[in-house]
Amino acid sequence: MSTALRVAILGASGYTGAELVRLLVRHPDVRLVALTAERQAGKPLGEVFPHLGGYDLPDLVKIDQVDWDGVDFVFCALPHGTTQEVIASLPARLKVVDLSADFRLHDIETYATWYGHAHKAPELQTEAVYGLVEANREAVKGARLVANPGCYPTASQLPLLPLLRQGLILADDIIIDAKSGVSGAGRDAKQGNLYGEVAEGIHAYGVASHRHAPEIEQGVSEAAGKPVVLNFTPHLMPMSRGILSSIYVKLAPGISADDLRAALVAAYKGETFVRVLPAGQAPQTRHVKGSNHCLIGVFADRVPGRAILLSVIDNLVKGASGQAIQNMNLMMGFPEQRGLEQAPMFP
């Protein structure tokens, strides 16, 4: 583009909003023109997030103070349940990536069941494209509204979808044991996120009831060509960032774990952000921290006929803001990796 894309971030005072800013200040085709935060309106972003001071950014404002005539593209990083009405009120010419769960589920009745209220913008749901880029790249390119995938669904679907499409694993026997850093719960003060509640221990939550289950099942059902119900249990870990999904699968007759690994290598050959590790290597969350990468490992189980898939991402980058920028790049015709080239931080 001859001029920079004018971008607004709605919900810039949360973790995913801050990650969008961190990544976009280095994007050569983007200019941040509006940052919103209802409770922090009027403050410089550097006052809310000192690590983002000194970048000549606009001050935080309320959504109704944004001049939409000066905006080309919107990232919506608002809480679940608040986004549908906001996006419905925006000028129809704007392209949008929504980081909440509000448009991820295709079926509005399923959404109402899991999120506890009727969908408030069903007319927009029909045009929303699910933005798991490596699985839906062409649809994302032509989209106006993209539903950015959840963190657990991203880490879980990337290893599963190619295998299900090829019939290499059985769709009726999938167990996902996932673990996430505390930032996945957001920045609001909550008792369960206090240091004394999280440090020096781990615990499961949302057991048999986590809202990411239907999102994962939606994707794996499409890949398998039939309805799939799976086991999904998330756990909270005493770390800030990262997701590890340990996925236990049953092999199709005559298939080995080596076949799974070969299929994944072929599926992600040439992908910038997804890498299948050599046999015998287990991915670690510390090796993707701060990056848009997903690392996948494949192991034969000791139980005959079964395999173990391991997948790691940074929940705030590939699991949220990085993937959102990846989607924006595709929607706007930019190189897909632009603004996301940074290597992981280690240690």
Catalytic residue (one of 151, 260, 263, 309): 151
Do 170 and 250 form a contact (C-beta atoms < 8 A)? yes
Whole-angstrom distance, CA of residue 300 vs CA of residue 48: 47
Ramachandran region, residue 146 (left: φ > 0; alpha: ψ -120 to 50; beta: rest): beta
Q: Are strands 306-313 and 243-251 parallel, antiparallel or unpaired?
A: antiparallel
Identify the burial level of 195 via C-beta atoms within 10 angstroms of its C-beta, where 0-12 means exposed, 13-18 middle and 19 or more buried: exposed
Distance CA 214, CA 221 (A): 10
Long-range contacts formed by 191-197: CB under 8 A, 24+ apart: 192/236
Phi, psi (rounded to 5 degrees) for 235? -135, 145
Q: Is the dihedral of CA 115, 121, 134, 162 positive or negative?
A: positive
Which residues partner with 34 through β-bridges? 8
Residue 76 designated active-site:
no
Please, are residues 296 and 313 in contact by the beta-carbon 8 Å criterion?
no
The SS3 assignment for 55 reads coil
Cα–Cα distance, 331 to 333 (Å, whole number): 6
Catalytic residues: 151
